[in-house]
Structure 1
Amino acid sequence: MNWPHLALGLAMMMFISHSSSAEEVEMAVATGQAAPDFSLRDQNGETRTLSTYRHHWVVLYFYPKDDTPGCTQEACRFRDDLPALRKLGAEVLGVSVDNPESHAKFSSKYSLPFPLLADTDGKVARQYGALWSLAFIRFAKRQTFIIDPQGKIAKIYRQVRSETHSQEVIEDLKALQRSGR
């Protein structure tokens, strides 16, 4: 094995994963904008459309891959905090480029009580500026969007720590609701 080449390859992947292409920056949404609508299949094969959640707060979180350590931790934190989020009138939707079958296994394994949406072509992640791609490899970046009951983006998290993120979302939802958003 050629260790210098392996180290260089890993360093390049890390750099690329933290970089954004002009297309991604162009497609990224901003706070105050209408959230791009979408229709995606969930882990049960049901089609979920963002517009059906109008009049609710939505926590739309993108994650790289089912059943990986950080993604599992983040999903389980949202699962455990779901009663508090729902008490605030919020629904949680997870999105990755994995297929519905992968989502079904992940959801079942960890008893996830919210929809995991299959954005297999990466179109929705791209609209939100949350797609990372290199040649044939595509992942959703770990990013979250709070969408208000009128369908506008109220808060964007471009940097997420999976172990504390759901609590951060709860606190920010409370603040947004206190401020009349």
Structure 2
Amino acid sequence: MLIKLIMYGLVLWLAIWGYRQYQQPSNRVSVGMKAPDFKLPDAQGHTRRLADWQGKWLILYFYPRDDTPGCTREACHFRDDIQQIHALGAEVVGVSVDSVASHADFAQKHRLSFPLLADTNGQVADAYGALLNLGILQAAKRMTFIIDPQGMIAQTYSNVNPDGHSQAIIDDLKRLSAF
């Protein structure tokens, strides 16, 4: 009985600590800074770099896990709004710590037409301040960065609500790109 109580206490402590870590806003990357470079495989296994989108606005969004309810809603909203985003000269790229195979399944299942990058070791998420690291468990925090055509951070979003997020991105892109 005592061991069970200790285990429940430990699980509760880890849950509270993890939630607090997840909710902490990132101070690592801020508006006006040069966006951290990256080199990651996409769902088809092709290596993608930040420079691939030079000269375009880039919506770089980090999300916890493929095929979970919030992540699916967020990705599908971006999918549904992709024409408006493209009309503003921007591209969307999703990043999580899931594998290339997981991303491929997720993209196919939900007909996602934008790249999903596999940051399996969490280095890119960490560089953007979007890594939740609980030791044996790593996940990306739900954060988004708008990167301007020169590779500078133009807008940051932490503690993102998946519902309505893509519309907020569109509204901010209109403001930032002076359309």
Q: Deviations over 1:89-118 (max 9, x none)?
A: 000000000010000000000000000000
| 122-131 or 156-165: bigger deviation | 156-165
Corresponding residue SS for 1:145: strand
Structure 2 match to 1:18: 20
TM-score w.r.t. the length of structure 1 is: 0.89
Displacement of 1:62 in angstroms is 0.1
C-alpha contact (below 8 Å) 1:142/1:159 kept by paired residues = yes
Structure 2 match to 1:104: 104
C-alpha contact (below 8 Å) 2:25/2:159 kept by paired residues = no
Structure 1 match to 2:94: 94
Displacement of 1:18 in angstroms is 2.8
Corresponding residue SS for 1:32: coil
Matched, 1:63 2:81: no
Gaps of 5+ in 2: none
Q: Deviations over 1:50-92 (max 9, x none)?
A: 1121100000000000000000000000000000000000000
Alignment length, in residue pairs? 176
| 24-33 or 59-68: bigger deviation | 24-33
Q: Percent identity?
A: 50
Displacement of 1:11 in angstroms is 5.5
Displacement of 1:47 in angstroms is 0.8
How far apart in 2 are the matches of 1:67 and 1:172?
27
- Which aligned runs of 4 or more in structure 1 are off by greater than 6 angstroms? 24-27
Matched, 1:50 2:56: no
C-alpha contact (below 8 Å) 2:26/2:158 kept by paired residues = no
C-alpha contact (below 8 Å) 1:132/1:141 kept by paired residues = yes
Q: Deviations over 1:25-51 (max 9, x none)?
A: 898211100001111000011111111
How far apart in 2 are the matches of 1:39 and 1:100?
14
Corresponding residue SS for 1:178: coil
Indicate the RMSD between aligned Cα atoms, in angstroms.
Answer: 2.3
Gaps of 5+ in 1: none
How far apart in 2 are the matches of 1:172 and 1:10?
38
Structure 2 match to 1:143: 143
Displacement of 1:3 in angstroms is 7.8
Q: 5 Å matches for 1:97-136? A: 97-136=97-136
Q: Per the alignment, do residues 89 and 14 of structure 1 end up closer, same or farther by CA in structure 2, a change over 3 Å counting?
A: farther
TM-score w.r.t. the length of structure 2 is: 0.90
